[in-house]
Amino acid sequence: MSGCVPEPVGARQVAVKLSACHFTSGFFDSDRDGGAVQTGTSAPSGTHYSAPSTFSPKGMVDLSLHLRALGQRVGSFVGVAEHEFVDLDSISATIHCGCMSLPQELVDHIIDTLHDDLLALKACSLTCKSMFASTRHLIHQTLCLTPRNNESVLTREEEKQLRSPKWKYQDVQLRFLSYMGERGFLQYTRKVYIHNARQGDTHNTGSFTPDTLRPHMHHFQSLDRAHAITIELYDGDVWASHHKSCFAHFNPTLTSLTLRRPLGHYRRVLQFVLQFPNLENLCLEWLDGNVGRARPTLTAPTIFNPSSLPHGHFRLAHIDGTVHWPTDFAYELGNGFTFQSVELEDSFGDHGQHLLDTCSDNIKDLTITPSSKGYQLLKTLKLKEIKDLRRLTIRPVYLTYSDLAFDFPPILTITSTTLSELVLELGRLRPSLYEICWGRWGKTDRFLYQRFAKQGEFRLIIRAGNIYALDAFQRHAKEGFPLLASRGCIYFETSPSIDNYWR
């Protein structure tokens, strides 16, 4: 652009520039896992931009230019008709009690643009009253109860006591929960992450137990709007007599539950899972050989009512080869599973096959992610029992030439006639292998063409982690799938999360 008219810039850039240049930091710690938390001296609600007693006219002009450019830029994001921008002359920024307040319309545009950028939202929340009030529900929607957060809110007296040999870390577990509750931030919480174990702790120390929760129970019960919980080291035996009373307030709203490294007898773990009537998504991660060992044998569970089982998405990830209880669970429930979306990550062999066979009548979306160690087991996976499969996603990341230089066996076992989308996420293969590997997929190409593409609408989506890999796929994939390419069935996408997933 020419002349003195400022060039429009992105909403993120201006918002961050405003937050960096027009306030003094110190009220919030943007690096905390638990969200922005007010620290330092107290101040009136919303007064987190301290303007000087004599506001600089030049500074106000500069700010207006930035805001004008921001209003023009943001207008295009929200579908505003051409040239219908926010008019900051008619609704200009004003000064309230020494604090600058932006127009609410502009605040809404900024928040809509930055809704997925937590750090930028924390910075922008300090620019004005309206921004501070409007961003609270986004900044505090995730509550992270971690050792770092627990220790960060201790008083000086508590820090001294913690260093005393008479005190243990268990005495300050969940301290961050009370800290947030006392300041009224728990009303915004929608996701809860609980991980009490410190670095170096074993499975038997630092876990989430009723004793550590009891001093903070009244604040824990105020989390009645949360819809997702992740718990590290949940011990089903320890919680056997307490899980119903302590988690009852989650029953109306909880839809997603993740248990990482669960301990105790598997039936007691599942008793906890199945108590939530509205649960739709269940994730079990990092099961190892200690689960179910040296535990009393429980009688057949009468609480497992198939009609009350979770439905929606089920994820089973990172299973040690010695674990047997996922298979036992599948055998006991018969066809009780109602999951329509299943994801298996490094969970193959008998574990994965039994679960797929059990859910076969309901599965419509299947994602399988092998590791380099589990790829040989993945070759034996059979999908012939799944009759209504609509979407299959395969993530063969970290594979070698020997892994990809043959037709993919699980695809060739599909008997469903409803498959409409096959997604191959190929993130980190060496470019020199692409041309060789695609040449070995001829049987898969013919199978997909004859069964799906020739009969109706079908899409093969090849997804890369970056544009460089995508370019290699585009140059060689059509040679590997000539029949599908002739029907125009091949699509290419980039997804940075593919590479980030394995970092």
Q: What percent of the chain has pLDDT over 90?
A: 13
71 pLDDT higher than 50: no
**Cα distance between residue 175 and residue 289, in whole Å:** 32
Q: How confident is the model at residue 93 (pLDDT cuts 50, 70, 90)?
A: very low
348 pLDDT higher than 70: no
**Cα distance between residue 126 and residue 50, in whole Å:** 9
Question: For the chain, where do the domains classified as CATH 3.80.10 start and end?
Answer: 364-503
Nearest residue to 414 via CA among 336, 350, 356: 356
User: What's residue 194's pLDDT?
Assistant: 93
The residue that leads in pLDDT, 147 or 24, is 147
**102-116 pLDDT per residue, tens:** 667 777 777 777 767
pTM over 0.75, yes/no:
no
**Mean pLDDT across 24-35:** 35
**419-434 pLDDT per residue, tens:** 999 998 876 555 555 5
Q: How confident is the model at residue 221 (pLDDT cuts 50, 70, 90)?
A: very high
Q: How confident is the model at residue 472 (pLDDT cuts 50, 70, 90)?
A: confident
Q: Determine whether 485 is exposed, middle or buried from the number of CB atoms within 10 Å of its CB (0-12, 13-18, 19+).
A: middle
286 pLDDT higher than 90: no
User: What's residue 29's pLDDT?
Assistant: 36
Please list, residue by residue across 404-440, b when 16 or more beta carbons sit within 10 angstroms of its beta carbon and e when fewer do.
beeebebbeebebeebebbbbbbbebeeebbeebbee
Average pLDDT for the chain: 69
Q: What φ, ψ does residue 105 adopt, rounded to 5°?
A: -60, -40
**287-314 pLDDT per residue, tens:** 765 544 434 344 433 444 545 556 678 8
Q: How confident is the model at residue 416 (pLDDT cuts 50, 70, 90)?
A: confident
**188-208 pLDDT per residue, tens:** 899 999 987 765 554 444 578
User: What's residue 471's pLDDT?
Assistant: 79
Q: How confident is the model at residue 265 (pLDDT cuts 50, 70, 90)?
A: confident
Nearest residue to 362 via CA among 280, 445, 283: 280
**Mean pLDDT across 230-249:** 91
User: What's residue 218's pLDDT?
Assistant: 93
Highest average pLDDT, of 103-107, 127-131, 356-360, comes from: 356-360
Q: Where are the beta strands (DSSP E) in 431-499?
A: 459-464, 490-494
The residue that leads in pLDDT, 34 or 476, is 476
User: What's residue 128's pLDDT?
Assistant: 62
Nearest residue to 385 via CA among 414, 409, 343: 414
94 pLDDT higher than 60: no
Query: Considering only 8-22, 107-121, 303-317, 488-502, which range has the smallest mean pLDDT?
Result: 8-22
Residues 6+ apart with CB under 8 A from 247: 272, 275, 276
Please list, residue by residue across 230-244, b when 16 or more beta carbons sit within 10 angstroms of its beta carbon and e when fewer do.
bbbbbbbebbbeebe
Q: Cα torsion at 337, 342, 344, 350 (round to 10°)?
A: 30
Nearest residue to 426 via CA among 384, 459, 393, 377: 393
**Mean pLDDT across 224-239:** 91
* CATH-assigned architecture of domain 364-503: Alpha-Beta Horseshoe (3.80)
**158-188 pLDDT per residue, tens:** 777 666 665 555 567 788 999 889 988 898 8
**113-127 pLDDT per residue, tens:** 776 776 777 777 666
Given a contact cutoff of 8 angstroms between Cβ atoms, the answer to whether 483 and 446 are in contact is: yes
Both tokens assigned to 61: 């002009």
Q: How confident is the model at residue 464 (pLDDT cuts 50, 70, 90)?
A: confident
Q: Which helix (H) or strand (E) holds 77?
A: helix 57-77
18 pLDDT higher than 50: no
Nearest residue to 462 via CA among 411, 426, 431, 499: 426
74 pLDDT higher than 90: no
**Cα distance between residue 273 and residue 258, in whole Å:** 9
User: What's residue 257's pLDDT?
Assistant: 93
